Structure 1
Amino acid sequence: MGDSKDAQSLAADRILAIARALNIQPPQPTDSGQEIPPEFIARLRQVLLTDPSIPKPNPTVSLWQEPAHPTLAAIQSPTLPSLTDFIVIGSGVTGCSVTKSLLENPASGPSPGAPPHVTVLEARTLVSGATGRNGGHFVSPAGHYYETMSKRHGEEAAKDISRFSILNVQRIMSLVRELDPKLAEECELRDVVKITAAIDQDTWKDFMSSLSAFRKAIPEHQTYHRTTNAEEMEQKWDLKGCHGSIEHMSGAVWPYRLVTGIFERLLAQYPYNLSIETNTPATAIEYAVPDASSFPGSEYKYKVTTPRGVIYTKQIVHCTNGHAAHLLLPLTGRLHPFRGTMSVQKAPASLDNMGGDRSWSAVFPTTLDAKTGLYTEGLFYLQQNVKTGDIWLGTERSNIFETIQGDDTYVSKEGYEPVRDFLPKFFSRWPKGAKSDLKAIWTGIQGHTSDGLPMIGRLPDYLTGRPGSDGEWFAGGYSGYGMDKAWMSGEAAAKMIAGEGVPEWLPKCFLITEDRMHNRLTVEKTIAKWVSLARTGHW
């Protein structure tokens, strides 16, 4: 009982400290929509200001991670390195991209032509976070999402984001095939047609308006998408209950095998320059130049504490996404965890295996009930395993106060129903009256930002909470769309770290700037965003 009170007291102290540090004010009310109970806003604030923690040690079991990589899943050096040029925290797509880019860039090393030493820290087993728990889609939402982006971020930013999203999908798929055809086979990388279906008439109207705006704004991609109307959906795609769809070429992959496979090849290529330390969370970071009598020079200015010992490093790259605020206290509430649910279901014999040529999404209005707290994500995303025919389906439906937190050790009670009931309603060839055969269900933690855009770049000391710190970097905050942004975001961060500046292909609205941090990426904006969804039905 005493321990519980102590824990609650510490949590409350943290919330008060963050609120004071960030000078948080209540969100401004709007004039339209349903009335929001004050207790809803108060509880939302409390949840957003709660420590996202390091990843929990006993997560739900993701079938992407079964079987575990035979040599890398729990890899550790016999002795933790005491010195390293870079520490990369997090081993997902972004952490892998940053690591690969730093090792391959001559400008990153301590001397000309010498690659740097990079240490990857992972709190659990390798690739056990969001990358090892997601839907496995390389897909750009640019067509049906363009108009929303334009309204939120401006026309030029929407163009940049759309081009970057499409380029990233092409880049990662080409890179894997060029890196090693065997890896492409191991991770079941394949080109598929992505069918994004509108479940209701209003969503379909929004799709067509957005696609028209996209085609006018980005003429080089005018033929990137095709459309199918309601009358043709069942005949062409064997889908029912849809008002139409937008289609484009995309990719599907086994994400865990993809990233572990790249790390495996990096270790073979750089055996003396890469250390991967799993089950080794970074629990504390101190910025201080070490005593010259203990270490040569003053380059290793960061002390990173782990349960296995201390490492000194020159620079740190945070690739921890939804868990980032645990080590970066001032990011609390600006970037918050968001829990999604994934499942695997056995397909009936009547349903052909279409995993080699298509994948699907179904879109409908997102809702948030301020009285009950029930949040329903207006999206299902699914692919079919090309070998087994099993269907991998993801969405989220739960109490909002369970959704906005960093605990992936359980599935909410509301989370089972949508994944269990959706497929028979979606596929025309699903046997009438037959239920889904659920083989597994799990959760994963995404990272969402106040403005819905990733954060890329150097962290100023007011975001680290470490005065004088100038060697900490961040790449993450993909707000649910990471597979079309994470790889090249990691490459961009590595180029900036190496002193090459911001790549011209990176959307400037992704950058960590003072204006964005003070005016658009704030706790108040995050609260207002969720309140707006509850009040009006949209952000």
Structure 2
Amino acid sequence: MDQRAAIPVTLPRDNPTQSYWQLEPDEIADLRSTSSLPDKADTVIIGSGITGAAVAFNLLSNGARDVVMLEARQACSGATGRNGGHTKAASYRSFLGHQKDHGTAMAAKIARMELANIRAVHAFARDHGIKCDSTPCDTVDVVYEAAQWELDQKAVKAMQDAMPDDDAAKYTLHSREDVWEKFFCGRGGDESVCGGVSYEAGSLSAYQFGVGVLKLCLAKGLNLHTNTPALNLEKLEGGGWKVETPRGVITAGKVVLATNGYTASVWKRFQGVIVPLRGHVTAQRPGLDMPKEGLPGTYSFIYEGGYDYMIPRPKGSKFEGDIVIGGALAKAPADGLEEYGTTDDTAFNEVIMKSLDECLRKYFGDNWGADNSEGRIRKSWTGIMGFSPDGFPFVGEMPGEKDLWVSTSFQGHGMVLCWMCARALVTMMGDGDEKELDAWFPEIFKINEQRLRLTFRGRLS
């Protein structure tokens, strides 16, 4: 893993695989708000995904002006525009580890924030009329490993003991027979179902959501420059920062890195600290015997060493009924070791893609039926995530670097972390109530020198 973490992180690649969500790029995909790059700005945000958009929205809503956003490729074309669209926390799966390492109170705070993030994203989409197929719903984790099933039951009980009557600890356990009958898994395919866990989650088009937030920001005065990568940052003697791009230099009082897996390409201190990891996703047409009324919610399939996650496209959406499924990292040689350290989303790992192409027939078995006459696979693509040594995001002001701010490294868990982390960051950047922030924001997410010295050993969840 040391060798993979040491691979120099590059800027986003040209000509990436085309995301299912971007088959029709939005009208702002290549927008430059002004024909030339401004010479200066109060704040420059690097990255136009959900984190950059949320930071910009909060800054502008708090009265900030002269905010410029730089994006290396098209708007919202990184992890946000390439993930599966799953707003799902699965907090019980990390609760015991967090409880052991950081105490019950911190483990509970993380779980509460994750649920709050899910609810806030869907509420924001609803309240601002963002058309992104926002679908709050239940989810189920179908578990195929006996030891994991025992641990999951223990984790759910630990959460419910620690957080009685708290929504973040509301889980329902299902027997294997329940999984067969209610969730259509396990008969005539992979018969090794042990049980299931269901709870509150949701799905949306993260691309459409991110673009929708950006449009709100543009209406508030955001100056967006796509296809304008940040090549280098340099601290100015009198304060502030110089940001070099292929289109010229812009100076800024503050810089925000909303760059997730690409962060080390902009600020080298993160080399080997935030490690890119390539993820794979497919969109598949359902089998002809799948329930015509649709599946009851979203899914994850948990097996020894890994998992796949699955989102059925909701009624009324484009390609209604399609099944978006990603994951399968553990199916690759050495548990997907070669996927770490790469920023190459122009290509695929063929072993992982083969697993994703074949797995739905195994999971749903007799309930799948024949493949659609147009073919099972509609689209396949890859995207780059960012992972830290301790499994938590980095949020706050870069130690020793005044006015260089970061909210990044979301462990493939961005849809339940980014929104609230951005809100926290803007509070830190301004005159927000730190005491109120500490009441809900996990202290262990804040960036510090000690965390930056940790050694990356792989993903922790």
The answer to whether residue 84 in structure 2 is matched with residue 135 in structure 1 is: yes
Q: Structure 1 residues 392, 431: CA separation in 2 closer, same or farther (over 3 Å shift)? A: closer
Q: Structure 1 residues 147, 265: CA separation in 2 closer, same or farther (over 3 Å shift)? A: same
The answer to whether residue 319 in structure 2 is matched with residue 384 in structure 1 is: no
User: Contact 2:395–2:406 at 8 Å: present in 1 too?
Assistant: yes
Question: Shift of the alpha carbon at 1:308?
Answer: 0.8
Which secondary structure state, in structure 2, belongs to the residue aligned with residue 137 of structure 1? coil
Range with bigger deviation, 161-170 or 394-403: 394-403
Take 2:313 and 2:391, find their aligned partners in 1: how far apart are those partners? 30
User: Contact 1:424–1:434 at 8 Å: present in 2 too?
Assistant: no
The answer to whether residue 236 in structure 2 is matched with residue 236 in structure 1 is: no
User: Contact 1:454–1:478 at 8 Å: present in 2 too?
Assistant: yes
Superposed, 1:299-318 pairs within 5 Å as 301-318=240-257
User: Contact 2:11–2:72 at 8 Å: present in 1 too?
Assistant: yes
Q: What does residue 227 of structure 1 align with?
A: 173
The answer to whether residue 414 in structure 2 is matched with residue 458 in structure 1 is: no
Q: Structure 1 residues 355, 81: CA separation in 2 closer, same or farther (over 3 Å shift)? A: farther
Could you report, residue by residue, the CA deviation over 1:412-447 in whole angstroms, capped at 9, with x for unpaired residues? 121222101110111145445759711111111111
Question: Shift of the alpha carbon at 1:150?
Answer: 2.0
Which secondary structure state, in structure 1, belongs to the residue aligned with residue 411 of structure 2? coil
Could you report, residue by residue, the CA deviation over 1:460-491 in whole angstroms, capped at 9, with x for unpaired residues? 23xxxxxxx30101101111111111001011
Superposed, 1:189-338 pairs within 5 Å as 189-221=134-166, 224-240=170-186, 241=191, 242-268=193-219, 270=220, 273-289=221-237, 301-338=240-277
Letter in 2 for 1:425: K
Q: What does residue 39 of structure 1 align with?
A: none
Higher relative CO (Cα under 8 Å, sequence separation at least 6) belongs to 2
User: Contact 1:138–1:253 at 8 Å: present in 2 too?
Assistant: yes
Take 2:15 and 2:81, find their aligned partners in 1: how far apart are those partners? 14
The answer to whether residue 364 in structure 2 is matched with residue 427 in structure 1 is: yes
Q: Which runs of 5+ in 2 are unaligned?
A: none
Which secondary structure state, in structure 1, belongs to the residue aligned with residue 415 of structure 2? coil
Letter in 2 for 1:95: G
Which secondary structure state, in structure 2, belongs to the residue aligned with residue 379 of structure 1? strand
Take 2:216 and 2:328, find their aligned partners in 1: how far apart are those partners? 35
TM-score, structure 1 as length reference? 0.78
Take 2:294 and 2:428, find their aligned partners in 1: how far apart are those partners? 38
Q: Structure 1 residues 437, 217: CA separation in 2 closer, same or farther (over 3 Å shift)? A: same
Take 1:381 and 1:66, find their aligned partners in 2: how far apart are those partners? 21
Q: What does residue 342 of structure 2 align with?
A: 405
Take 2:173 and 2:47, find their aligned partners in 1: how far apart are those partners? 39
Q: Structure 1 residues 357, 234: CA separation in 2 closer, same or farther (over 3 Å shift)? A: closer
Q: 2:387 aligns with which of 448, 473, 484?
A: 448
Q: Which runs of 5+ in 1 are unaligned?
A: 1-43, 107-114, 290-297, 367-377, 462-468
Question: Shift of the alpha carbon at 1:135?
Answer: 1.2
**Higher-Rg member (1/2):** 1
User: Contact 1:321–1:447 at 8 Å: present in 2 too?
Assistant: yes
Take 1:485 and 1:431, find their aligned partners in 2: how far apart are those partners? 34
Could you report, residue by residue, the CA deviation over 1:395-418 in whole angstroms, capped at 9, with x for unpaired residues? 143341233321111001212221
Q: What does residue 443 of structure 2 align with?
A: 508
Q: Structure 1 residues 190, 207: CA separation in 2 closer, same or farther (over 3 Å shift)? A: same
Could you report, residue by residue, the CA deviation over 1:12-68 in whole angstroms, capped at 9, with x for unpaired residues? xxxxxxxxxxxxxxxxxxxxxxxxxxxxxxxx3232112111100111111111200
User: Contact 2:386–2:412 at 8 Å: present in 1 too?
Assistant: yes
Take 2:328 and 2:382, find their aligned partners in 1: how far apart are those partners? 9
User: Contact 2:9–2:341 at 8 Å: present in 1 too?
Assistant: no
Take 2:56 and 2:91, find their aligned partners in 1: how far apart are those partners? 28
Q: What does residue 415 of structure 2 align with?
A: 483
Superposed, 1:86-97 pairs within 5 Å as 86-97=43-54
Letter in 1 for 2:447: I
Letter in 1 for 2:283: V
User: Contact 1:144–1:208 at 8 Å: present in 2 too?
Assistant: no
Which secondary structure state, in structure 2, belongs to the residue aligned with residue 323 of structure 1? helix
Letter in 1 for 2:119: Q
Letter in 2 for 1:154: G
Take 1:207 and 1:478, find their aligned partners in 2: how far apart are those partners? 23
Letter in 2 for 1:280: T
User: Contact 2:290–2:369 at 8 Å: present in 1 too?
Assistant: no
Take 1:103 and 1:432, find their aligned partners in 2: how far apart are those partners? 51
Take 2:311 and 2:262, find their aligned partners in 1: how far apart are those partners? 27
Take 1:231 and 1:216, find their aligned partners in 2: how far apart are those partners? 26
Letter in 2 for 1:486: C
Which secondary structure state, in structure 2, belongs to the residue aligned with residue 151 of structure 1? helix
- Count of residues in correspondence between the two structures: 440
Take 1:487 and 1:355, find their aligned partners in 2: how far apart are those partners? 29
Letter in 2 for 1:266: C
Take 1:190 and 1:232, find their aligned partners in 2: how far apart are those partners? 24
Letter in 1 for 2:415: M
Question: Shift of the alpha carbon at 1:178?
Answer: 1.3
Take 2:293 and 2:309, find their aligned partners in 1: how far apart are those partners? 15
Take 1:329 and 1:153, find their aligned partners in 2: how far apart are those partners? 29
Superposed, 1:38-77 pairs within 5 Å as 44-70=1-27, 72-76=28-32, 77=34
User: Contact 2:278–2:383 at 8 Å: present in 1 too?
Assistant: yes
Letter in 2 for 1:103: L
User: Contact 2:288–2:371 at 8 Å: present in 1 too?
Assistant: no
Take 1:175 and 1:346, find their aligned partners in 2: how far apart are those partners? 30
Letter in 2 for 1:285: L
Letter in 2 for 1:124: R
Q: What does residue 57 of structure 2 align with?
A: 100
Q: Structure 1 residues 431, 216: CA separation in 2 closer, same or farther (over 3 Å shift)? A: closer
Question: Once superposed, what is the RMSD of the aligned Cα atoms?
Answer: 2.0
Q: What does residue 120 of structure 1 align with?
A: 69
Question: Shift of the alpha carbon at 1:357?
Answer: 4.5
Take 1:456 and 1:353, find their aligned partners in 2: how far apart are those partners? 44
Superposed, 1:351-362 pairs within 5 Å as 351-352=290-291, 357-362=296-301
